């Protein structure tokens, strides 16, 4: 297969790209503990949003935060696997790359929690008081 064949566009190639993306998602869900934690928290947040009758705009924001968290965790996993492919031995730069990717997930998680608290505390207080 030459370069021109690999760069062709078409419905069959599009379907293959969805298949490969699905395989990646399945891998992350099966093998990454943190992704499973994000998934459980996302489900709980969506249930809470439903029970608290969160307004539509806030629900959209919640969905964006969840999607961003999933995407970032998947990218973190891709970076970790790529680094592992390059070197199995300890190397300070390999560690640095993994730590930086993990830091991106960590920062996003912190802000997701802050946004979640700002979103959920007022309606929770309204229900309790």
How far is CA 86 from each of CA 32, 44, 72, 94, 101, rounded to the nearest angstrom?
A: 20, 37, 21, 9, 16
The model's pTM: 0.86
Full 3-state SS string of 57-111? HHHHHHHHHHHHHHHHHHHHHHHHHHHHHHCCCCCHHHHHHHHHHHHHHHHHHHH
Does the domain at residues 33-128 carry the CATH identifier 1.10.287.3610? yes
Every domain of the chain and the residues it spans: 1-31, 33-128
Structure tokens at 93: 């730069």
Are residues 79 and 47 in contact, defined by beta-carbon separation less than 8 angstroms?
Answer: no
Structure tokens at 69: 């968290």
Per-residue model confidence as pLDDT tens for the chain (129 residues) = 555 556 677 889 999 999 999 999 999 999 999 999 999 999 999 999 999 999 999 999 999 999 999 999 999 999 999 999 998 889 999 999 999 999 999 999 999 999 999 999 999 999 998
Residues whose CB falls within 8 Å of the CB of residue 103, separated by 6 or more in sequence, listed in order:
none
């Amino acid at each position: 297969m030459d370069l021109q064949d690999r760069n062709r566009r078409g419905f069959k190639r599009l379907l293959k790209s969805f298949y490969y993306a699905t395989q990646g998602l399945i891998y992350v869900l099966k093998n990454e503990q943190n992704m499973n934690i994000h998934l459980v928290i996302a489900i709980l947040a969506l249930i809470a949003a439903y029970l608290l009758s969160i307004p539509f705009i806030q629900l959209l924001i919640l969905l964006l935060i969840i999607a961003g968290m999933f995407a970032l965790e998947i990218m973190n996993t891709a970076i970790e696997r790529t680094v592992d492919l390059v070197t199995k031995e300890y190397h300070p730069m390999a560690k640095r790359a993994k730590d930086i990717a993990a830091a991106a997930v960590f920062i996003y998680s912190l802000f997701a929690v802050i946004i979640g608290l700002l979103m959920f505390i007022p309606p929770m207080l309204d229900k309790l008081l």
